[in-house]
A and B are shown apart, each in its own frame.
Chain A
């Protein structure tokens, strides 16, 4: 079966712009989580959505937001981009157990 699909794979944006990243989970997975990966901070949890509702949230500013659609696809939005937002953004979908917790290949965002 198809894995977790993230689009786009690479993105370059200018400081102050906004960006939307997309994540299509494995079919049947209702939970989608987002993580930010940077060399300095490692993998940091952003938020998790389950059945279109945000169920868990990390410690990121309000510029980071997300949503989940009825087909479980999720989008993450970052407004007013800062240089420090440059990172690999990973999403993971889940069946509801950690064994089913599968990561996508990520979107590499570069803010210039």
Chain B
């Protein structure tokens, strides 16, 4: 799959702080997805973005589809201990067909919350 550059690789945050992470690519994507993976489990979809410029919220999570279609970011507001985990961005490239579910994933951002 195409390379997605996700940053930061890891972060330690204070409970209550806001968190930001982003994902960039050299290619255009039609769909951006953000997943969270807890230890020993599969990734769980948090937010899906389908249009350039789209800003979508899910509780304390907000994600945006960049207007260039080559990037996306995820914000977590007022972090709590259960936000610990690995967050992945994923995308469906514009070069794929209608039935192309070959998701490309970023390397993940490991979030650890200091109580």
Contacts A/B (CB < 8 Å), 7 sampled: A35-B103, A35-B105, A44-B105, A90-B43, A98-B31, A98-B48, A103-B42
Inter-chain contact B88/A43, CB cutoff 8 Å: yes
91-107 of chain B: CB within 8 A of chain A: 92, 99-107
In the complex, given contacts A94-B101, A105-B40, what are 18 additional A-B residue pairs having Cβ atoms less than 8 angstroms apart? A4-B42, A33-B101, A33-B103, A42-B88, A42-B106, A42-B108, A43-B88, A43-B105, A44-B105, A56-B100, A58-B1, A98-B33, A98-B101, A101-B101, A101-B103, A102-B45, A103-B42, A106-B41
Residues of A within 8 A of B42 (CB): 4, 90, 92, 103-106
Q: Pick the contact of A48 from B43, B92, B101, B108 — CB < 8 Å?
A: B101
Tell which of B42, B99, B107 has the most Cβ of chain A within 10 Å.
Answer: B42
Inter-chain CB contacts under 8 Å: number:
60
Interface of B is mostly: loop
Whose C-beta in chain A lies nearest to the C-beta of B35?
Answer: A103
Contact status of A44 and B43, CB under 8 A, knowing A55-B99, A56-B100: no
Q: Does B78 contact A (CB under 8 A)?
A: no
Residues on B facing A (Cβ under 8 Å): 1, 31, 33, 35, 40-45, 48, 88, 90, 92, 99-108
**A contact patch SS:** strand
| Residue-wise interface mask of A (19-40) relative to B, using a CB-CB cutoff of 8 A (1 in contact, 0 not) | 0000000000001010100000
A30 to chain B, nearest CB (A): 11
Q: Which 4 A-B pairs have the closest CB atoms?
A: A103-B42, A43-B105, A42-B107, A45-B102
- On whether the beta carbons of B102 and A48 are closer than 8 Å, the reply is yes
Bitwise interface map of A from 76 to 112 toward B, beta carbon under 8 Å scored 1, else 0: 0000000000000010101010110111111000000
Q: Which residues of A contact B99 (CB under 8 A)?
A: 50, 55-56, 96
**Chain B residue, CB-CB nearest to A103:** B42
In the complex, A60 Cα to B24 Cα: how many Å? Answer: 24
